[in-house]
Amino acid sequence: MQKIFYKTDILDRRAQKKFFLSEEILMENAARGIAEFVKTKAKKGFHVLFLCGGGNNGADGYAAARMLAGFFNVSVFCICAPKSPLAKLQFERLKPLHVKILKTLPKSADVFVECIFGSGQKGEIDEEVKKILLDINAKDGIKIACDIPAAIYSPVPFRADFTFSMGALKAVLFEDFAKEYTGEIVCCDLGVDRSVFEDKTDLFLLEKDDLVLPVRECKNSNKGDFGHLVVVSGEKSGASVLSGLTAISFGTGLVSLLVKEKLFEFNPSLMQTFSMPSKATAVIAGMGLGKREIDSSWFRDIPFVIDADLCHERKVKEWDSPKCVITPHPKEFVSLLETFDFGKHMVEEIQRQRFFWAKKFSLKFQGVLVLKGANTIIAQKGVLYVCPFGSQALAKGGSGDVLAGLIGALLAQGRTPLNAAVNAVLAHALVSSNYKANNYALTPEGLIEGVKWL
C-alpha cells in the first residue's frame, strides 16, 4: 500500500525546512530521476525531445536534458521562454552543452518528455499549446509526462505512456478521467526516501501484495466454519445466481438464494429459501432486484451489502450501519448523495471529483463505500483506498454482481466490512488485469473462474 497526496507542495516545503533540501536540490533530484528513467526506455542513438514550459516543470526538463546530453540525441522545444528563476538558471546551465534548442516542433522523435505545466497548471491553456499537444499525441514514440500530464483537465491532455511523479504520488493521477492519459505511473525520490519525505495522509493506493485471499488453513473444518451467505433474488434472478456462484467460488461454506418463488433454471451449488435462514452470517441485496419489496429486518443483525437497485431506494438511509458495504456505480452514487442530503448533482460533476465526494459521503455514512469506476474507491470515515488495477474488460453486465458476491463471501466468512471491500475489489480487478484473451471477451462467468486462480 502506498500513500497518495492531494497536494505535494506542502511536502516540498517540509523537506526544505526539516531536511535542509533547497528547492534547487529537490529539482536536481527530480531531474536525475527523469534522466535515469529515460535511460531505461531509450536506446543509443534515440532522439529524445524535451517539451519545456516557462515554470519549474520546464526547469525540471532543462536539468534532465542537461544530464542526458551525450547519452542520446537530445533537443529541447521551448513552449515559451523560461520565466521562473530556476527555469532561467537551468536553461543557462544547458546552453554550454550545445543541446539543440528548437523553435518549431520536429516531425518526429523517439522519446517525448513533457515538462510544460506539471502541478502548476492554472486556468485554460491557449490555442497554440492545444495544437502542440494534439500534434504530439498523434506522433509515434515513447511519451513521458513529468509530474502530471499537461492540460489534464482540458479536452486535449498530453497522452502519456508513463507519468513520472516527483517525490510522492498525486491524487489527480488516480482520478477516473486521468486513467486515459497517465499510462504507467512511476514515482521518484527527491533526496530522501519516500518513507521520510512523505507525511500523514488519508488516501492510499492499493497494491497487488495487499490482497489476502480466503485460503483455508485449518484442516479439521466443515462447511459451517466458512459462513452462510444469503443472496436476495429479485425480478432478474440471473444477477443473484451470479453473485451466489461467485461467493461459492470465493470460499463461502453455504450460499442460499432468498427467492419469492422457486427458480427452475438453477445451479445445484446454490440452495433456495423463502425465508431468511436463522444461521445466515451475511446478506447481499439489490442486484437484479427490480420492484421486489425488501424486509428491513434482514439488515439489522448481520453484515450486509447494498448494491444496484437498492442504491436508489430512499430507505437506504434507514439501513445505514457500520455493518454495511454499499457498492454504487456513479449514477447510483448521485442518488445516494441526494438521499443523504448532499443535494442534486450531475454524474459528470461527481466523476471529476471522485475523491472529494467519496470522502464527504464516507464521513456521513456509517458503513463502507465502494464507489465503482475505472479506479474503484473504497472509503470509510474519511479514509480512502483506490484500486488501480481495473480494466475496460469489466465494462459488461454482470461484473458488478460478481463484485457484490465477492464482498458478501468475505463478510460471510467473518471479515470486517472494510477488509471484505478492499480484498474483494482487489480480487475483482486483478482477475480483469490478468485476463489474457481479448479484453472485450471477459464474461461474469470468466471473472468467477478467474477468482479461483489468483
The pLDDT tens digits along the chain (454 residues) read 999 999 998 999 999 999 999 999 999 999 999 999 999 999 989 999 999 999 999 999 999 999 999 899 999 999 999 999 999 999 999 989 988 999 889 999 999 999 999 876 766 788 889 999 999 999 999 999 999 999 998 889 999 999 999 999 999 999 999 999 999 999 999 999 999 999 999 999 999 999 999 999 989 999 999 999 999 998 899 999 999 999 999 999 999 999 988 886 668 889 999 999 999 999 999 999 988 888 888 888 899 999 999 999 999 999 999 999 999 999 999 999 999 999 999 999 999 999 999 999 999 999 999 999 999 999 999 999 999 999 999 999 999 999 999 999 999 999 999 999 999 999 999 999 999 999 999 999 999 999 999 9
Model pLDDT, residue 291: 84
How high is the pLDDT of residue 123?
67
What pLDDT sits at residue 98? Answer: 80
Helix, strand or coil for residue 448? helix
Comparing CA positions, the residue from 382, 452, 373 lying closest to residue 418 is 382
Query: How confident is the model at residue 110, as a pLDDT?
Result: 96
DSSP codes joined into one string, 69-133: BTTBEEEEEESS---SHHHHHHHHHHGGGT-EEESS--S--SEEEEESSGGG--SPPPHHHHHHH
**Of 390, 13, 383, which is closest to residue 174 (Cα–Cα)?**
390
Q: What is the C-alpha separation between 63 and 59, in angstroms, rounded?
A: 6
Domains in the chain: ranges and CATH: 2-198 (3.40.50.10260), 209-451 (3.40.1190.20)
- 191 contacts: CB under 8 Å, gap ≥ 6: 15, 19, 21, 25, 26, 29, 197
Q: Look at residue 174 in the predicted model and tell me its pLDDT.
A: 96
Which pLDDT does position 403 carry in this prediction?
A: 98
184-237 per-position pLDDT tens digit: 999 999 999 999 999 999 999 999 999 999 999 989 999 999 999 999 998 899
Strands 162-166 and 184-188, bridge-based pairing = parallel
Nearest to 305 by CA among 286, 280, 288: 286
